[in-house]
Amino acid sequence: MTKIAVEQKVLNENQRLAADLRARFQQHKVFCVNLISSPGSGKTALLERTLERLPRDARVAVLTGDIQTENDANRLKRAGFPVKQITTGGTCHLDAKMIEKALADWPLESLDLLLIENVGNLVCPSSYDLGEAAKIVVLSVTEGEDKPLKYPSIFFKSELMVLNKVDLLPYVPFKVAEARENARKVHPGMEIIETSCTTGAGLDEWVGWLRSRREAAVING
Ligand SMILES: Nc1nc2c(ncn2[C@@H]2O[C@H](COP(=O)(O)OP(=O)(O)O)[C@@H](O)[C@H]2O)c(=O)[nH]1
Ligand SMILES: [Mg+2]
């Protein structure tokens, strides 16, 4: 088989598993989001700040992916909600099979919200559906405003861009208006929320987005 044929077979198999996961999430009314960014944009920090803002009895769980280490799971567990690390051992993205395996002993009927932090990478994760209701791309102001143009696939497929680390804007030559324009060139109408995980700016808007998007998903099935 050629390399392309093998890749297509892997992606088709992933699509089948992701469709099963999506059906299970819908059946149990679990709103699942898949956070994607370069390493270091602040996915884990955003999830830490999100969990801190949720009520103690929120029915939320987190799966966090990295090539090695349990560091992110250890950070996220401090909030007291169920968290599992998926270490891929070299693979540059999460796939649907990894999610299915990680969920094997988590009853979906006990969850309303499943937050997935993908492996830090703007390329490969965009090709692997995890059964999520929404992909969210995180871009931080230290990465350059041209990234939506350089890595269009993930910006095209994400419903929302979280523009993080806005507290650093006084110190970096990052043009917010240009970054927003570039994101919308690739994905017209894309939602954008500016956040800082250190000052807390934009975090209420982000948590509000999660809440209202979840309600819409549950109502519309
Ligand atoms: N100044 C600033 N630093 C941040 C912010 N969000 C995350 N960081 C820092 O950026 C680094 C990478 O964050 P992390 O959450 O591990 O990113 P991840 O690799 O995308 O999960 C850490 O040192 C964070 O403390 C932010 O909004 N502002
Ligand atoms: Mg992380």
pLDDT digits (tens, 9 = 90+) for 135-179: 999 999 999 999 999 999 999 999 999 999 999 999 999 999 999
Q: Exposure pattern of 197-221 as b/e (b: 16+ CB <10 Å)? A: beeeebbeebeebbeebbeebeeee
Of the ligands numbered here, which is closest to the C-alpha atom of 86?
2
Q: Is 197 in the pocket of ligand 1 (CB under 6 A)?
A: yes
Q: Which ligand 1 atom is at minimum distance from the Cα of 38?
A: 20
Q: Whose CA is nearest to atom 2 of ligand 1?
A: 165
Q: Give the tens place of pLDDT for each residue, 103-119.
A: 999 999 999 999 999 99
119-145 pLDDT per residue, tens: 999 999 999 999 999 999 999 999 999
Residue 77 structure tokens:
């567990």
List Cα–Cα distances, 204 to 32, 64, 111, 208, in angstroms: 19, 22, 22, 6
Centre of ligand 2 to C-alpha 9, Å, is 29
Single-letter code of the amino acid located at 196: S
pTM of the model: 0.96
Q: Is the CB of 165 under 6 A from ligand 1?
A: yes
Which atom of ligand 1 is nearest the CA belonging to 196? 27
